[in-house]
Structure 1
Amino acid sequence: MLEEAEEIGRRVRRARLRLGMPQADLAAALGKTQGWVSKMENGLIELDRVGLLNLVAAELHVHPNDLIGRPYNSSPAENQWQVSAASILRELRRYDLAPVFEGTPRSSGELWGEVTRLHRLRDAAANVAILRVLPDLFREARALAEVSSGHEQEEAYAIYAVCCKFTHTAAHALGHPELIAMAGERAAWSARLSGDPVLPAVADWMRVWDMWATADWSDAVTLSDKALAGIQRDYERGEPLAVRAWGTLQLRAAVSSARGGRTSETEDRIAHARAAADRIGEYTGPPVYDRHSLTFSPGNVHIHAISVALELGKHDSALEIDRRTGPELVAVLPNSRRGHHHMDLARAWLWEGNRDKALTELETAERTAPQLIRNHPIARSTLRSIVYAERSSTREKLRRMSDRFRLDG
C-alpha cells in the first residue's frame, strides 16, 4: 500500500502520454502548476479528494478506478464477491427475458421483508453480504412481475428497482464500474414500471453519483434539479418518502456543487437539505417504511456539510462544523455513514497537521465500517500520508540526534 501513490502517479503519466498531452496542458486543465503535476506523477502528492481524483481521470479520459487500481488486489477469499457480482450482471442483462425461477414466487409483502434484511446489511456497510443476497432476490422479483398484474406487479418492479439501488451502492464501495452502470440503467427501467412516484427520482439520484466519475459537476446539478422537480409537489404536501428523497437529492447537489467549486450554491443546497430534515423531524403520523433505502436525517445533513467543506478545501470549516454539532446526531446514523464521517474527519485533522487525531479518526472509521474504509481510495490516501509524514518526522529526529552524537564524525 505504501507504493500506491507512486503507482497511481505512474498510471497518470501513462494515461497522459497515451494522449500525447504535455504536463503543462494537464496542469492548466486542473488549475494546477506543472510542478504539481510532476510531483503527483512521481508519487509525492496524494489525490486526497474524490473530486480531484475524478477530475484528473476525466481529463485523461479514463475511469477513476483505472488510476487507483480498484478493485484492490487481495486474497482469493476477499475476491469472492466478484462471483456474486457476475451473477447479478447476468440477471440484469436478461432483464426483459422470461425469468429462470422454479416454483411460485413469494408475494411482494414477503419480498419487501427480504429488502429489509438488505437495509440492515447496508447500514452495517456489509457490501459483500449484500451482493450474495441479490441474485436470488432479483430472480424472484422478476418472476413475480411476470406472473402478477396490477398493484402486485408494480410492487415487484419496485422491489427490483430497490435491489438495483443496493447493487449500485455495493458496487461503488467495492469498485465495479460495469455493475454500477448496469444497475443504474435497470433501476431507471424498473422504476418507470413500478407505479411508485418517488422511485424515478431515486434512479436519477443514482445517475448523479455516476456523473461524478467523469467530473460532470454541472450536469450532476442539473439532473438533481430534474429529479427534484419530479417530486416537488409531493414534497410540498409533506409526503414523508418524497421529503426524504428531496432532502437526499439536495445533498447530492451540494456535493456536486462543491466539487465544481461553487461555494455559494453548495451552502444553499445544504440549507435546503437541512430544511427537509426539519420537516422529517416535525412529522407526527404513523411510522413510514423507508422502502427506497434513503437514510436521511439531520445527522446525514451534518456529515455532508463536513464532507463538502473538505471538497472545497476548507478543513478548518469542517472541524468547526463538527465542534458545534452534538455527537448524538452522528451516533444514530448507520455504520456506513458513520464510517465515512470519521474518514472525513481523519482527512480534516491531517490537513490541520494533527496526525495523532487523524489516525484516531481513521481507526474509528475502520472499526465502524471495515469493508467500506479499507476499499475507499481517500481512506487509503489519508493513511499513506500519515505513514509518509511519520517516516519523514522519524528520519529528521534521527538526523538531529545523529548530529548531536556526532555519528558521522
Structure 2
Amino acid sequence: MRRKSHIQVSYPSNYQDVISAKSLGSGSNHMHARISKLVKRLMESDLDALVTSHLPNVRYLTGFSGSAGIVYISRDFVTFLTDGRYDSQSRRQLKNAGNSDISVFVGNSSEQMNEISRLSAGRERVAIESRNAVWAFALELQELIGPSVQLIPSTDLIEQIRRIKDAEEIEALTSAAHIADEALTATLGLLSSQPTERSFAQLLEAEMARLGSERPSFDTIVGAGPNSALPHAQPTERTIAKGDVVVIDFGATYRGYHSDMTRTFVVGQPTLRQSEIHESVIHAQRKAIESIVAGRRAEEVDAAARNYLADLNLANKFIHSVGHGVGLEIHETPILGSGNRLTLMMGEVVTAEPGLYLEGEFGIRIEDMIHVGSEPGCITQFGYDWIV
C-alpha cells in the first residue's frame, strides 16, 4: 500500500451538499454566477462590453468545448458566436450548462465580425482581451464600428474570476486528479521491466484514457537517469534501468479541467545521495504546502520552500518557481514565484512542485494540487513511497 499524501483534502462543511445539488441544476447557477461576476467587473472598469475568443474563457462562461467561438458580454445581454460546424453542438452545450438565455449567432468570420459591430452600436467602451486577441481582429473591428466606440485592451478580467473555483470546478479537478492517481497506480510496476521513457509515457497516457481522461493535460514528462535532471525532459528511447531515478510529470483532463502531478521514483535501491535529495524535496514541498493559505502572498509560498533548501545549501539547484494555478488551463494565475505579491484567495487551486536538479546525475521533483482555504487541502492523493 502506497503512503497517501501528507496533506488531506479540506473542503467547506457543505461541499458534498453543493456537489450533490449539481444533478438538480446547479450548473446553471454556476454559469449565471460567473457571468454576473464578470458584468460587475465590467461596471467597475467603466466598460460597456467585453469580447473574448480565448477558448478556456469561452468554455468557462458558456460550457462550449469546440475550437471556434466568441463570447460578447455586455451589461445586459450575452451573445455566443460561432460558425456552422458548431451550430448544433453549441446550442446543445449551452443548454446543458444552463445557458439557454444566451443568444447564439452562427455565421462565417466576416458575418461574426459584422454582428459584433452591430452589438457594439451605441456603446462607448468595448474591451478586447489584449493577451489573446489577434491585432488584425482589433483593427478590423475598429474600422467596422467607427470612432464613436472605443476599443479598450483588457487583461485578466475573466482570468481573475477564474482563479476562484466553484464546487462544480472542484469536482472536475478532483476527478481529473483521481484518474491520474489511478493510472499511475496501474502502470508504476512496469518501470522495473525496463521500458523506454517514451513507451512508459504512452502506457500511462493510454491508461488515463481508459479511465476517462479526455486527453493528457500536457505532453507527459518521463525522464530517467541524467534525463531526470531536465525539468521539462521529453521522453526518449532511453531504456529505464536499475538504479535510475525517474521523474514522471503528467495529468489527465476531465470536463476540460486539468490535473497536474509529479512523482519521482528510483528503480531498485537508492544511493545515500539520492535518498537525501528526495527527502529534501519532500520537506521543501511540505514547507510550501503549509504556506498555501488564503491571504498569503504567492512569493511567500515560493520562499518557504526556497529558504528551506537554502539552509541545506541546495537553493541553487531549485531553478523554477514553486507552483502555479491550474484549472481549464494547465498554467493559470497565480504563479507562485519570487516577486509575485498577489494574495492567495479562498477557493483557488494551485500546485506545489519544488525540485532539485543535479546536472548530469539526476533530478527529483514532487508536485501536488492544493485547494486554497483557511488550511491547505491536497487534491492529488498518490503517495510518496518512491522505491520501485
Length-normalised TM-score, structure 1: 0.29
Q: Higher helix fraction: Structure 1 or Structure 2?
A: 1
Q: Higher strand fraction: Structure 1 or Structure 2?
A: 2
